[in-house]
Amino acid sequence: MKSIISAAYWAFFSALLFAGSFAEAAVKVNPPPRFFPVYDYQNDWLVYNSQYKNYVPFSQGINEGTQYVSLYIDLLKNRRYTLLVRAENQSYLFIEGALQNKLEVNTWQELSIDSLYRIYKKEELLVTLYGNPGILDKTVLLCHEKKSSDEALSTTTRSNFINIRPIASSPFGNFAGIALILILIINAWVFNLNPLSFIRLINPIEFFNSDPRDQLAKINKPYSNTTIFFVITSAMLMAFIAVYLSTNKLNLFAVSTILSDKSTTLQILGDFLILSIIFFVLTYTKYICMVLAGNMLNLDKHVDIIFIKIVQSSYLFYSLLFLVVFALSFNHVNWLADGKSYILLPFSIFYLARFVALYVVTKPSGSLINLYLFSYLCVIEIIPLIVSMKFAL
């Protein structure tokens, strides 16, 4: 009995060694020397199942013939790491279903997790490899880039020192600082020129003041120094917003066709001054059209009042918008990528609200004159707004 057990044991052991000699061991692929492997995605491959309409784990016995396999990469948890992709046969790399590039055979493709997170704005990303059937020739590793010995030594020896580095600056950031200084200088000049009028013009409550005995239009005519400087400031605020949108590849009213390529601070500043002049001229062109329309509708007494309130409201709205954009640009908040389709919404809301407010505030007595005033405001506010929205983008 003992001999039978011993013979069976040796027969099983020999068969195991014989089978092992023909078994094909998985070849471990190492990343480049400057990377330290953190995680191997070899057991995380997924394939799309049309029955469940979702991705399911890859199965050797069932999915061996499939030419595309996928992975879900957690971008939020793996910040500061690098994704390395390698294929031993001709393959193609897809990210979120879009073709990125053709992978070179036996060459590592490096993908920064931080860059992917900034571009796609997602916590999880779908990476797909299309090529040879199966997963044996495909490798995806999550790696951490090693520091050189010099950098490590420098970090160790200087750990007790404060490492002060200058803040990285951009041409638009330098321009934004210059624009802020120019706008503050003009506002200070206007305040010293006429403090009472300046305080009343920047007060939102004064916009709703409809007392005919105490109106800003009686003190500040459209061609007075205070009003002209307020129009200049409003034009500069509008120009700043237009330059910001153009710098971020949002070409409203095709303004980029008259601007430079914005590679330096001086070029951006030149574009800003050109747009400021254009907006200033357009504002007083609008005033001339208001005078002509007001004379035809017998509303010439209300033209100055409406123009001052238009200048006042534009100044307040674009000042607020300027402060928001200035803060976002200096904190490097990329909000235009997600809000590009809604960029015209705040402008539309402002101009429609101003149309209603102007009608309520400057509403005269008499039904016939009310009809004239409504028609007048439509000509100077609503019709330009509709045309502008149509040709804005």
DSSP 51-113: TTTEEEE--TTTSTT-SEEEEEEETTTTTT-EEEEEESS-EEEEETTEEEEEEPTT-PEEEEH
**Using an 8 Å Cβ cutoff, are 69 and 129 in contact?**
yes
Lay out the sheet containing 109-112: strands in order across. 35-40, 138-145, 82-87, 109-112
217: closest CA among 129, 306, 149? 306
254: left (phi over 0), alpha (psi -120 to 50) or beta: left
Phi, psi of 103 (to 5 degrees): -80, 130
Domain residue extents for the chain: 35-147, 171-391
Residue 67 one-letter amino acid: Q
How many whole angstroms separate alpha carbon 57 and alpha carbon 63? 9
Written as six digits, the tokens of 13 are 């052991």
How many whole angstroms separate alpha carbon 239 and alpha carbon 231? 12
Distances (CA, A) of 211 to 104, 277, 361: 77, 34, 9
Helices of type H across the chain: 2-22, 113-120, 149-157, 171-193, 195-201, 204-207, 216-219, 225-247, 265-296, 300-330, 336-339, 345-361, 367-377, 383-391
Fold of 35-147: Jelly Rolls (2.60.120)
Give ∠ CA 187-190-193 in degrees, rounded to 5.
150
Residues 58-68: tens digit of each pLDDT: 887 788 788 88
Give residue 367's pLDDT: 54
Distances (CA, A) of 312 to 9, 161, 309, 354: 98, 53, 5, 11
Give residue 79's pLDDT: 83
Tracing tokens 């790491």 back to the chain, one arrives at 81
To the question of pTM greater than 0.85 for the whole model, the response is no
**Using an 8 Å Cβ cutoff, are 13 and 112 in contact?**
no
**Using an 8 Å Cβ cutoff, are 103 and 85 in contact?**
yes
Q: Which residues of 363-386 are buried (b: 16+ CB within 10 A; e: fewer)?
A: eeeeeebeebbeebbebbbeeebe
Residues 6-20: tens digit of each pLDDT: 554 445 445 444 444
How many whole angstroms separate alpha carbon 357 and alpha carbon 363? 10
Which residues, given as ranges, of the chain have pLDDT below 50? 1-2, 5, 8-10, 12-13, 15-27, 150-168
How many whole angstroms separate alpha carbon 16 and alpha carbon 22? 10
How many whole angstroms separate alpha carbon 232 and alpha carbon 131? 62
Written as six digits, the tokens of 255 are 């303004």
How many whole angstroms separate alpha carbon 268 and alpha carbon 259? 8
Distances (CA, A) of 80 to 88, 115, 136, 222: 27, 9, 28, 57
